[in-house]
């Protein structure tokens, strides 16, 4: 079983212009790009949980397919999912969901911010 928060932090911190804060106190990590949230990591009833932004049409499909994915905890249920720590959670799923969430948020940024992030991605590769 993967260490969900540790792996999510590794994936998120590798994305350009990601900032980490704890505006809700210690124990709730909030990951942003250009001041817009794309990932939250916290514990709920002793279990690691990730809140991840998704396309509304994917939210229901993900919840139907994966028993460890639910509607976003304390978030807009159409746009966010909560992924709970579970023995069947795989690294590639976590990475794909975080990357997709990041990309969704980047698409909403100004062209100037999008261009800067695109340039930083090119420099990393």
Question: For the chain, which domains are there?
Answer: 4-124 (3.90.1150.30)
* Whether residue 124 has pLDDT greater than 80: no
The predicted-structure confidence for 17-63, as pLDDT tens digits, reads as follows 999 999 998 999 999 999 999 999 999 999 999 999 999 999 999 99
Residues 94, 7: contact at Cβ < 8 Å? yes
Do 82 and 51 touch, CB atoms closer than 8 A?
A: yes
Element (H, E) at 14: none
Q: What is the mean pLDDT of residues 92-100?
A: 98
Q: What is the mean pLDDT of residues 5-28?
A: 95
Residue 111 has pLDDT above 90, yes or no: yes
The mean pLDDT value of the chain amounts to 94
Whether residue 103 has pLDDT greater than 70? yes
* Contact between residue 32 and residue 21 where contact means Cβ atoms under 8 Å apart: yes
């Amino acid at each position: 079983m993967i260490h969900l928060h540790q792996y999510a932090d590794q994936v998120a911190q590798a994305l350009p212009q990601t900032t980490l804060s704890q505006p809700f106190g210690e124990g709730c990590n909030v990951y942003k790009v250009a001041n817009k949230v794309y990932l939250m990591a916290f514990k709920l009833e002793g279990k690691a949980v990730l809140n991840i932004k998704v396309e509304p049409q994917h939210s229901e499909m993900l919840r139907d397919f994966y028993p460890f994915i639910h509607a976003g905890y304390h978030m807009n249920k159409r746009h966010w999912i909560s992924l709970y720590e579970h023995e069947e959670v795989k690294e590639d799923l976590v990475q794909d969901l975080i990357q997709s969430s990041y990309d969704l948020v980047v698409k909403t940024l100004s062209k100037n911010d999008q261009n800067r992030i695109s340039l930083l991605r090119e420099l990393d590769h």
